[in-house]
A and B are shown apart, each in its own frame.
Chain A
Amino acid sequence: MINSDSKYQFLIDYFVEREGMQIIEKLFVTDLVESGLIDSLDILEIAMLIEENLNVKLNLSDDKVFKAMRNLNSIINLIEKC
């Protein structure tokens, strides 16, 4: 789980704003694309948010990176590796 003072809080806020508080529990365990919560354009929007907030530019032309954007845990792992 992410603490409210975490540098990743903006990601939680993004989803809560769209889906409401009930989304928090699902975020770390759900395939966000398969469950219909996000689509490929949303993935791009999330990458943009990450760049804005953390100054990290993800390489979305890499298939592995794009696929990892389907779950919040794997998104955080990606950022940590950059």
Chain B
Amino acid sequence: MLIHHLGIVAQSLDEALNCLPLEKYALVEEVYDDKQNNILYFLKSEDSSVFFEIVVPIDDNSSVKQFSLKQKIGLHHLAFKSESITNSLKYHQEKKGNFQLKQYEINVDVFGGKIKTGFVFANGILIEYVENV
């Protein structure tokens, strides 16, 4: 199982860069996520295969608005690469304390174009599975 990216919620990209060992040139893509009302900044340093996804809320309808107000900046989710979201989510289905959340599709060029993404809350940890469509 490969770690795909780390999802970090922040109130701005600059705030995130102020806390992480990354420079602005590590920014490889910026995506407007109109389903969750967030801006997603994808960053990757040359010596790492793991991306950082900085999630910044756009407005009060953002899926991470309250999280960002409370935490300012914080680790939000851990994302794994998946060959099949359906199978990955099935793994969690019957487990106690595991809750499947919404799935949706979004285009992220650095991830190879359109991806399908599915979230699971597993006993306190938010896990995302990412499948290339």
Contacts and interface: CB of A to CB of B under 8 A. Distances in A.
Contact of B66 (A40, A52, A66): A40
A43 B126 CA distance: 12
A60 interface: yes
Name the interface size band of chain B.
10 to 19
B97 A39 contact: no
A44 B121 contact: yes
Contact of B103 (A48, A51, A61): A61
Please report whether the interface of chain B is mostly helix, strand, loop or mixed according to DSSP: mixed
A33 interface: yes
B101 A61 contact: yes
Given A44-B121, A44-B126, A45-B124, A60 B67 contact: no
Nearest to B66: A39
10 contacts: A39-B65, A44-B126, A47-B121, A48-B97, A48-B124, A57-B99, A60-B121, A61-B103, A63-B102, A66-B101
Contact of B99 (A33, A36, A52, A60): A60
B49 interface: no
A82 interface: no
Interface of B: 63-67, 69-70, 96-97, 99-103, 121, 123-124, 126
Contacts of A60: 99-101, 121
Given A48-B123, A60-B121, A41 B99 contact: no
B124 to A, nearest CB: 7
A21 interface: no
A19 B59 CA distance: 26
Contacts of A45: 124
Nearest to A40: B63
B96 A36 contact: no
Contact of A58 (B66, B69, B99, B102): B99
